[in-house]
Structure 1
Amino acid sequence: MSKNYRRYFVGFLMVIFPMHLFASFDFNANCLKAYQSIFELKLNSARQLIANEKKVNPSNGMIPLLENYTDYFYLLTTDSKDEFERLEKYKSRRLDLISEGDKNSPYYLYAQAEINLQWALIRGRYEEYFTAAREIKRAHSLLLENQKKFPGFHLNLKGIGLINAFLGNLPDGILKSALATFGVKGNMGVGIGMLDQLAENLPKSKYEAFYEEVVFYYVFVLNDIAHSPLAYDKTMKYTARISDQSLLKTYLQASVCAKNGSNDEALKILAGRPSGIAYQPFPYLDFLTGIVKLNKLDYTASSSFNRFLQQNKGVNYIRDANLHLSWISLLKGDKEAYNGFISKVRKEGYLFQEKDKQALKEANDVTPDKVLLKARLLFDGGYYSQANSLLAKFIPSQFIQGRDRTEFFYRSGRINASLGKDDQALIDYQNAVDSGRTLKYYFSANAALQMGKIYEARKNYSKAKDFYNIAIQMKGHDYESSIEAQAKSGLSRVK
């Protein structure tokens, strides 16, 4: 074929086929601004910028990826299954567009992996585990292939790290079984190491623009998957350089503070969060505000829970919000209102989220002991001295044998451990294990897990192994999957 003929043939192809068949991946200034808007949760602004990019540069392969990012965070903030079902159809169309792009770009495989991974993470919220497993397998394969082709493309490690961490601590269940079928396994330590390295080094690289996304996933892994004692310090360190105009920063910081005993700090962050029509509505932040207020025994938390229930269009935390409203009524001495909210817990909402499943179990149980409930809330807020002073007024025999007495031992153990009194905590935990070993409550199993952690910290690995195994062997209790996953992770460390 002559050079002139070849030139003519290529020109002919350019005429008869759409230009997007030869799309490049141009992460230009407009795309960067759209991406930054997404991670500040200014989704309408991001949509406008993406629409502008379509007009100016319709063949840009970054467009379908940015559109998927926008949908991903829209679905995370709305939590709407109806919207999930409406938007899901765009996934295959976007993958088709990207697959027609420049195969020599590091974004070619990466963008396809990202879209698969984002949909898998959303899908898991609605228990669509088999399809999620296929998407994770696909994302993992694409990222590993891209890593071989472009070893200097740091962003590969973000998805590989997340998948490793996620799968490395996955409890037994349908998703784990499905992934095993596809031959996908993970390693928690490897995944955390990758994400930590990226969070540390990305600001010094040409991929600095992706820093917030790395931190978003890293905090998710530390706080929600690994339950790491480093979650608070790492989160506050790595989110410090993110703009205060980012509502996602509010979510990350407030969530980790609320879960790690920094309740007053969480309240301050939530109260000062950016607001206005520029931001995507995020009802969960009202729910979280209610949680941290009630942990302080501030009963005005009811207004936050009610605001969440009024504004929420999603499927999660409805039962849990009503359970917390029932506790407020109980602690205020309004038994009629308590019964009304308990009825709502039983009838309203869905059962996708572990917290909602637990709320239904508690609603179908006997009324909680007020003293133990207060101790539980104060502990969750990190008010350990107040919780300790409260329980110090009582002895075990003052609580009904079975659930309440086991909970008394368990709460005492958690509080003493948090106050640095590990020897007393071990006694309390052992009492909890002995008292409630055959009960359906999580107190005994989690007490064994916490004993394993104390012995592991003391480098008494033999005893740590024994108690991790005890935690695993207890079955049929609340939070079984989570406790078992943490215990297995502990076993892998002490081995």
Structure 2
Amino acid sequence: MAKPHPLFLLLLCWLLSHTLVAAPGFSPQQKAVYGELLKLKVNHGRTLLPHLPQNNAGTLLLANYADFLELCVQQDAGKYEQLLAAQEERLEKLTELPQQEVWTRYAQAEVRLQAAMSKLLFGNRLSAAWDFRKAYLQYTENADKYPDFLPNKKNLGVLQVLVGSVPDKYKWFLNIIGLKGSIPQGMANLQQSTDRKNPFYQEARLLHAVILHLTEPGKEKQALGQVKALARSQQDNLLFQFVAMHLLKKTQASDEALQVYLRRPQGKSYLSFPYLHHMAADLYLFRADYPSSIQENRQFLRLHRGQHYLKSANYKLYLAYALSNHKSQAQWHFQQIAQVGVEESEEDRYAASFAQEQEPLVKPLMQARLHSDGGYYQEALQELQQLQVSAATPQAVQAEYYYRKARIYHGTDSLQQALPLYQKAIRLSEGTDLYFAPSASLQAGYIYQELQQPAKARSYFKQALSYKHHAYKNSIDAKAKLALSAM
């Protein structure tokens, strides 16, 4: 099974795990714990747990959620075995509770899913896959027995979307373990749970927005609007601010994302969240504020206890130093890329590939890329204008030049100008492992979707899937497959 991006694991599993605890019938004390955990005030939430009824599915799930959330956010390998053992212990306790009770069955599925995600985060893929299967089957059985139970409908919907979007090369594994997904069915289940009559409608809308953003690029604004509204309504909720910051960054709204970061709730009562500094470092890098980017990534490296994003952080530090003409510091971080961390996330794999290839940094091209990634399209175009591209220019530089220019025009809704540039980038990338061809194919598919030419859109999405080896294979394939499934 493909390993999801670690950040997505955090985002997904929080959304999957917290819906139970707001349920009607929960005591005021349990709701108070829920509120603290939801804000990432995990330690305070833990101090309240001993005052709750202990032989209770909700209390067991709350305790598991606190441990799991800490593990995902901080990725401390030193706590992995301890927290995983606690999850298994809670599963045993849940089996001793009355099995006919819907919340007990639901809590079992939730804790099992959290155990699967914990194992996946730390590289134990095979064991994670079987726990994932058990959780999925439990959700499915719950749905058959309790078809109107909204929390289960919501979580089952997410899993149906995820299983339905698994790249083809992993379908054999899903067939072996007996899992089948459906993106339309999953989205329908999610949509049903967003009605205001649902007592969990805020959480349902947040979950729906994240999945909608992943599956339907044409509805990015709708998804982002939902998340921003939730973040505004609870400005002391660090997790809501993180989700808003994440989606704003993904949609090239860097200035707004940075404002969310700067206004985020802070203090010792909140769980340390190092990845936010890594995200902020990108936002500063996009706008060419190199000192601030360096400061944020240094802070990330000081606080982070995991192995993910270490290569990426050193790569971004290399860029910040190189683009600000600090050659010795840039070279030191360039060498660090190969020496630290793991290559599990696409960020880290790309950084490792960059360091291994050791191609010279073309500053205007890199600065154009960073500006474009941040939504600073005019600045990006100005950087590209400094390059004189000809037949003598290296093929990789030519391909990236036209790809970046296409992304700039695409970002400014100049679709007819973007299309031929994407097509040129595809031609120039043929016969290489450059990701510009598959990414350009994906983006051309999106344009033809917007132009209401489904046959051409479908052709480009299939073309994006046809490329075998490139840095962003998993994410581009997933997006192309989702787009095809939605057509």
TM-score surpassing 0.5?
A: yes
Match of 1:221 in 2: 211
The answer on 1:80 being equivalent to 2:60 is no
User: How many percent identity over aligned positions?
Assistant: 28
Report what 1:256 is aligned to: 247
Task: For residue 321 of structure 1, report the CA deviation from its aligned partner.
Answer: 0.6
Q: TM-score, normalised by structure 2?
A: 0.89
Q: After alignment, is 342-351 or 238-247 more displaced? A: 238-247
Q: How does 1:342-381 map to 2 (within 5 A)?
A: 342-365=334-357, 366-381=359-374
**In 2: Cα distance, 1:127 partner to 1:227 partner:** 29
User: Does 2:450 correspond to 1:457?
Assistant: yes
**Cα deviation code 1:269-328 (max 9, x no counterpart):** 000110111100001111111111111111121000000001111111111011001001
Correspondence for 2:326: 334
1:87-236 correspondence runs (5 A): 87-172=83-168, 176-198=171-193, 200-201=194-195, 203-205=196-198, 207-208=199-200, 211-212=202-203, 214-215=204-205, 217-223=207-213, 225-226=214-215, 228-236=217-225
Is the 1:413–1:428 contact (alpha carbons within 8 Å) kept by the matching residues of 2? yes
SS in 1 for 2:150: coil
> Which 10-residue stretch deviates more, 427-436 or 455-464?
455-464
Q: d(CA) in 2 for partners of 1:396 and 1:445?
A: 22
RMSD: 2.1
2:406 pairs, out of 399, 407, 413, with 413
Equivalent residue, structure 1, for 2:270: 279
2:156 and 2:25 map into 1 onto residues whose CA distance is 23
Report what 1:22 is aligned to. none
Change (3 A) 1:407 1:482: same
Q: Is this contact kept in 2: 1:437–1:474, CA < 8 A?
A: no
Task: Report the AA paired with residue 65 of structure 2.
Answer: Y
Is 1:397 aligned to residue 390 of structure 2? yes
Q: Which runs of 4+ in 1 moved over 4 A?
A: none
Aligned counterparts of 2:433 and 2:257: Cα–Cα separation in 1 = 32
Partner of 1:43: 42
The alpha-carbon distance between structure 1 residues 245 and 477, as it changes in their structure 2 partners (threshold 3 A), is same
Which letter maps to 2:223?
K
- Cα contact 1:133–1:178 (8 A) shared by 2: no
TM-score (norm 1): 0.88
Greater CA drift, 28-37 or 128-137: 128-137
The answer (yes or no) to whether the contact 1:329–1:335 under 8 Å persists in 2 is: yes
CA contact (8 A) 1:169 1:226 kept: no
Q: Structure 1 pair 211/130, CA: closer, same or farther in 2 (3 Å)?
A: farther
Shift of 1:177: 4.0
In structure 2, the partner of 1:473 is 466
What is the aligned counterpart of 1:446 among 417, 428, 439?
439
Q: Distance in 1 between matches of 2:224 and 2:35?
A: 19
1:325 aligns with 2:320: no
User: Closer, same or farther in 2 for the Cα pair 1:343/1:267, shift >3 Å?
Assistant: same
Alignment match, 2:6: none
- Which residue is equivalent to 1:429? 422
The residue aligned with 1:9 is none
Aligned mates of 2:486, 2:206 — CA distance in 1: 25
Q: Is the 8 A contact 1:113 1:140 kept in 2?
A: yes
- The aligned counterpart of 2:15 is none
Higher relative contact order (CA 8 A, sep 6+): 2
1:393 CA drift (Å): 4.3
Deviation at 1:232, TM superposition (A): 4.8
Render the CA deviation track for 1:197-232: whole Å, top value 9, x for unaligned: 32x31x433x33x743x3554454344x43734345
Give the CA deviation at 1:33: 1.2
Shift of 1:239: 5.0
Which of 238, 242, 255 is matched with 1:247 structurally?
Answer: 238
118-127 or 99-108: which moved more?
A: 118-127
1:301 aligns with 2:297: no
Deviation at 1:395, TM superposition (A): 4.2
The Cα of 1:61 is off from its aligned counterpart by 2.4
Matched residues in 2 for 1:337 and 1:479: separation? 28
5+ residue gaps, structure 1: 1-24
1:397 is paired with a residue whose SS is coil
Structure of larger gyration radius: 1
Contact persistence 1:169–1:489 (CA under 8 A): yes
Query: 2:483 aligns to what?
Result: 490
1:44 Cα shift?
0.7
Given residue 51 of structure 2, which amino acid in structure 1 is its aligned partner? N
| Residue identity opposite 2:211 in structure 1 | V
Cα shift readout 1:353-376 (whole Å, capped 9, x = no counterpart): 221111100111212211111111
| Match in the other structure for 1:27 | 26
Deviates more, 1:345-354 or 1:311-320: 345-354
Q: How many residues were matched structurally?
A: 460
Residue 281 (structure 2) pairs with residue 290 (structure 1): yes
Deviates more, 1:255-264 or 1:332-341: 332-341
Residue 463 of structure 1 deviates from its aligned partner by 1.7
Distance 1:108 1:238 in 2: 30
Shift of 1:186: 1.3
Question: Residues 219, 302 of structure 1: CA spacing in aligned structure 2 closer, same or farther, 3 A cutoff?
Answer: farther
Question: Matched residues in 2 for 1:372 and 1:383: separation?
Answer: 14
CA contact (8 A) 2:183 2:485 kept: no
Structure 1 CA distance, aligned partners of 2:426 and 2:353?
Answer: 21
Which blocks of at least 5 consecutive residues in structure 2 are unaligned? 1-23
For 2:331, give the aligned amino acid. Answer: N
Distance (Å, rounded) in 2 between the aligned partners of 1:239 and 1:467: 32
SS in 1 for 2:272: coil
CA contact (8 A) 1:125 1:352 kept: no
Cα distance in 2 for partners of 1:418, 1:116 equals: 41
